[in-house]
Structure 1
Amino acid sequence: MTTRRTRARHAALAATAAAVLTATALGAQGAGADPAPDPAPLTDTQAGALAHRITHDLGDRAAGAYFDAATGKLVVNVVDAKAAAEVRAAGAEPRTVTRSAARLAAATKTLDAQARIPGTAWAVDPRTNRVVVKADSTVRGERLARLDKVVTSLGDAATLRRVPGAFRPTLAGGDAIWAPRARCSLGFNVTKNGQPHFLTAGHCGNISSTWSDRQGGAAIGRTVTSVFPGHDYALVRYTANIAHPSAVDLYDGGQQTITGAAEAAVGQSVQRSGSTTGVYGGQVTALDATVNYQEGSVTGMIDTTVCAEPGDSGGALFADSSAVGLTSGGSGDCSSGGETFFQPVTDALSALGAQLP
C-alpha cells in the first residue's frame, strides 16, 4: 500500500458556519409586525448551525430538528404555539409534535440505566419524534428479551429495530497512520498551544503511543490524549517536520479544503474519507446517539447512513468545506451498505483545548 494517503487525508477546523446565517435572533414578533418572509433555502452547513442555535435557545421547548433537503428548510419540533412562533421568527419551520423533549430524554435515561447491552444503540429520531433503539445480530436470547422489555415499557416514545452485522469500532492492521500492530485514519489537523497536532479516534489512540505515516516507518507523532470509551477522540502531537494541510484526501488525486468546523444536522448530506475505503457519502440520521460496543459505550455520537470498514477509524467526516466528525464505528460495509457513528469534532476540539491551524 502507498503512503500518499496519510499525508493528504487531513483537514483543519475553524469557526462554525454560524457567521453565514442571516436569520433573526430567537424571539416572538411584536404586535402589529409584518409577517416574516419565507427564509431563503439553507445549505446543509447553514442548517446545522441554525439547528444548534435554535435548539440551544429553546432548550426543552424544542424536541429535535432536521434538515429537509428538498425544500432547503430546517424543521424544528415544538409542542406549543409560543415556541412555534419563535422558531418561525428565527428562520426555521416549526412542526408541532406530541412527544416533548422531556419525555424523550426520560426514555433515553431509562435506556441508559437499564439497557446498556453490547450490540445496541439508540438516539432520538426527530422525523418520527421517537427514540429509535437498534440491536445488532449479536443481541439475542435473554439479552434481546431484556431489551425488548425495556423498550416496551417506554410505550410509544421508543421503537426497537434489528440491524444486520455487529456494531464495532472500525480498527484493523494495514495502511494509513500506523501503530505497531494496527492502523487507523488521520482525521483533522489542529494546533494546541501553538504546536501542530492531529485528531483521530480514541479507540485508536488507546492502542499506541506513537504513529507513523507508513508501515514500519519512523514515528511522525505521539499520542498525548486519548478518550475511549465514553467518547471517541484522541490528540496526537506531530514529532516530525512534515506537511499538515487543512484538507481532506478525496482519493481521486484531489483534496477538499477545510475552512471551519460545523455542527451536524439530521438530514444533512455528509462525506467520509478513510484509508481503507476512500470517500463515501450519506446522510445524518440522528444526533446525540449512544452506542454500546463490545469494548464499551460511547455517547453524544452522530448517526449516519455512511459506510465504513476496519481501518477507516478516526477519518474525517465533512460537509463541503466544514469538518463535522471523526469515524468511530458501526455495522455493515461499503459493499452491502452500513451504518456508521461519528464523534462530533466540535466536542473533541472543546474538550482538548485544540484549535484550527
Structure 2
Amino acid sequence: MSVRLRRVICGVAIVAAAVTTLLAATLSAPASAAPVTALLDPAAVKALIDGRAALGLPAEVADYGVDEQSGRLVVELTGSRTPAVDALLSGVDPNVLDVRTDAPAPRHHAAAVKGGDTIISGSRRCTLGFAATARGRTWLLTAGHCTRGSGTWSVETAGDVLTPIGSQARTASAGTDVGVVPVTGSGVQVRGLVGSVAVRGSTPAAVGSPVCLYGSTSGRVCGTVTGLDRTVNFEGTIQYGMTATSICSAEGDSGGPYITSSGQAQGIHSGGGTGRGCTSYLTPIGPALSAFGLRLLTS
C-alpha cells in the first residue's frame, strides 16, 4: 500500500470519528437546546418529564401533572426551587410550567396499630392488648399463652391485610399470663388507643365498676368488675392475682385489653368460663407491665 493511500484512509477514519463524536454530542445535548412547547399537547411535556423522572426525581418534588383547565404542567415542590429541579425542567418553555412551592411531602401511611386489633402468628389468632415502651423500644402486650413458642406476629388491618409487627416475643413466668411482642416492622405505627378510646392511665377499677373488653372475636363487650386478686384454675394451669368480670368472651379474645370509659387501662384478657352467666378474667395492667419492666403508652 502506498504512503498516499494510507494517508487517505487515515484521513477518512479521522473524519468519521469526528462525525460520530458530533452526533453523540448532539443527541446528548441538554433539553435547553430545543425548548419544548406543549400548550397544544400538554401530555407531551409530562411524558418528557416522566422520562427524566425514571432516572430519579429531586427530593423536593412532591408531584406533578397537567392541569386540565390551564393546560400547564403543575409541579408541586416541598420547598424552594433548586438546581436539581431546574435540571429536571430544563428545555421546557416557561409558559407551559406552573411551579408551586411549600407542598406537603407525600408519605405512605403505616398500619395504625391499637388495642383490640387482631394479631396472628401462624395458626394462632389473638388480640393486641396495650402498647408499652422501655429503653427506646415499643412493645405490644397480649396473653402469655399466645406468645409462648410463637414466631413472627402480624396485625390484621382493613381488608384482611396482614402487616408484620415483629418476632422474638417474650412470655412472663408461670403464674402470669402475659406476653409481649417487640415492634420491629417498619410499616407499623403504634397508637395509645384501645378501639377509639385514648389510653389515659392505669387507675384500677373497684368491684362493681363498669369496664369493657375489646376482643378480636367479640369486639367491644362490657360488664362490671366482680372480684379482685383471684387465683384461677385454667384446666390445670394456675394463674394468680387476676381480676374477675361479668363480661362474656370467646376464643380469639385472648390478650385483649380491658379499659374504662375514661381511658384507664385495667389489664390483659386471659380467658373465661361459661355456665351461670359469664365470667372473664384479666391480668391487671400493673403486674403485666412490671413483668417486663415496661411503661404504658398513653395518648
The answer to whether the 8 A contact 2:114-2:192 is kept is no
The answer to whether the 8 A contact 2:211-2:260 is kept is yes
- Partner of 2:139 in structure 1? 197
- Partner of 2:220 in structure 1? 279
- The one of 120, 123, 127 equivalent to 1:181 is 123
Structure label with greater radius of gyration:
2
State how far apart, in whole Å, the 2-side matches of 1:307 and 1:9 are.
22
- The one of 189, 211, 219 equivalent to 1:243 is 189
The answer to whether the 8 A contact 1:220-1:238 is kept is yes
Q: Displacement of 1:228 after TM fit?
A: 5.8
The answer to whether the 8 A contact 1:248-1:273 is kept is yes
State how far apart, in whole Å, the 1-side matches of 2:266 and 2:169 are.
22
- Secondary structure at 1:352's aligned position in 2? coil
Give the root-mean-square deviation of aligned CA atoms.
2.3
State how far apart, in whole Å, the 1-side matches of 2:192 and 2:283 are.
19
- The one of 240, 257, 261 equivalent to 2:202 is 261
- The one of 340, 349, 356 equivalent to 2:289 is 349
The answer to whether the 8 A contact 1:330-1:338 is kept is yes
- Partner of 1:220 in structure 2? 165
Figure out how many residues of one structure are paired with residues of the other and give that number.
182
Kindly report which structure 2 residues correspond to 1:63-82, keeping only aligned pairs within 5 A, or say none: none
Q: Tell me the TM-score normalized by structure 1.
A: 0.48
User: What amino acid is aligned across from residue 115 of structure 2 in structure 1?
Assistant: H
Gap change, CA 1:332 and 1:7, over 3 Å in 2: farther
Q: Displacement of 1:218 after TM fit?
A: 5.4
Q: Displacement of 1:219 after TM fit?
A: 2.9
Kindly report which structure 2 residues correspond to 1:125-204, keeping only aligned pairs within 5 A, or say none: 176-204=118-146
User: What amino acid is aligned across from residue 233 of structure 1 in structure 2?
Assistant: V
- Secondary structure at 1:196's aligned position in 2? strand
Gap change, CA 1:204 and 1:306, over 3 Å in 2: same
- Secondary structure at 2:182's aligned position in 1? strand
* 1:234-281 deviation line (CA, Å, top 9, x unaligned): 1110011311111111xxxxx001111122321111011011011011
- The one of 245, 248, 271 equivalent to 1:304 is 245
Percent of residue pairs bearing the same amino acid type = 36
Q: Displacement of 1:209 after TM fit?
A: 3.0
Q: Displacement of 1:178 after TM fit?
A: 0.2
Gap change, CA 1:263 and 1:280, over 3 Å in 2: same
State how far apart, in whole Å, the 2-side matches of 1:207 and 1:306 are.
28
State how far apart, in whole Å, the 2-side matches of 1:224 and 1:192 are.
15
User: What amino acid is aligned across from residue 311 of structure 1 in structure 2?
Assistant: G
The range that moved more, 336-345 or 299-308, is: 336-345
Gap change, CA 1:342 and 1:223, over 3 Å in 2: farther
Q: Displacement of 1:186 after TM fit?
A: 0.2
Q: Displacement of 1:293 after TM fit?
A: 1.1
Gap change, CA 1:213 and 1:332, over 3 Å in 2: same
- The one of 312, 317, 332 equivalent to 2:274 is 332
State how far apart, in whole Å, the 2-side matches of 1:337 and 1:221 are.
37
Higher relative contact order (CA 8 A, sep 6+): 1
* 1:6-52 deviation line (CA, Å, top 9, x unaligned): 945428xxxxxxxxxxxxxxxxxxxxxxxxxxxxxxxxxxxxxxxxx
State how far apart, in whole Å, the 2-side matches of 1:233 and 1:207 are.
13
Gap change, CA 1:284 and 1:178, over 3 Å in 2: same
Q: Displacement of 1:224 after TM fit?
A: 3.5
- Partner of 1:10 in structure 2? 115
The answer to whether the 8 A contact 1:229-1:295 is kept is no
State how far apart, in whole Å, the 1-side matches of 2:250 and 2:277 are.
10
State how far apart, in whole Å, the 2-side matches of 1:176 and 1:191 are.
20
State how far apart, in whole Å, the 2-side matches of 1:354 and 1:209 are.
21
- Structure 1: which 5+ residue stretches go unaligned? 1-5, 12-174, 250-254
Q: Tell me the TM-score normalized by structure 2.
A: 0.57
- Secondary structure at 2:288's aligned position in 1? helix
Gap change, CA 1:322 and 1:351, over 3 Å in 2: same
